[in-house]
Amino acid sequence: MTKTTTHRGSCHCGALRYEVDLDLAGKATQCNCSICRKTMWTGAQVKPDAFRVLAGEENAGKYVWGGKISTRFFCKECGVHCYGRGELEMLGGKFVGVNVNTLDDVDVGLLDITHWDGRHDNWQAGMRERPWPV
């Protein structure tokens, strides 16, 4: 049984604010690809209708790289990567990825994290243990 909760989040300076309806039981992920490692992204994916920008969309910069599967949005003022929008069949089509580090009421240290080996394009299976050396 899932328990969806509405979480509010923001960038560091508060210029970009949003909310997301999310069940965090076992759904947070970390990846070792170059962008996720450098931005310290811990993600959770939802359908687009479960995510709403509340304020500051004009303050959101965009970044697309590599396979152009998703566009990351970050605050132009403080630089924090907050969410991404994309489309990927293995995620069920269109999605929004939220950096759960930016959610106000979530302690990422308490989450059960699945690790992905994006550095080596190993997207077939998420692994509970880190598949790469720390």
66-124 pLDDT, tens digit each: 778 889 999 999 999 999 999 887 768 899 999 999 999 999 888 888 887 777 666 55
Mean pLDDT of 23-28: 79
pTM of the model: 0.84
Contact predicate 62/72, CB 8 Å:
yes
Q: What is the mean pLDDT of the chain?
A: 85
Q: Which residue has the higher pLDDT, 93 or 13?
A: 13
CATH tag for 5-114 (out of 3.40.640.10, 3.30.1490.110, 2.170.150.70, 2.60.40.1120): 2.170.150.70
The per-residue pLDDT for range 78-93, each reduced to its tens digit, is: 999 999 999 887 768 8
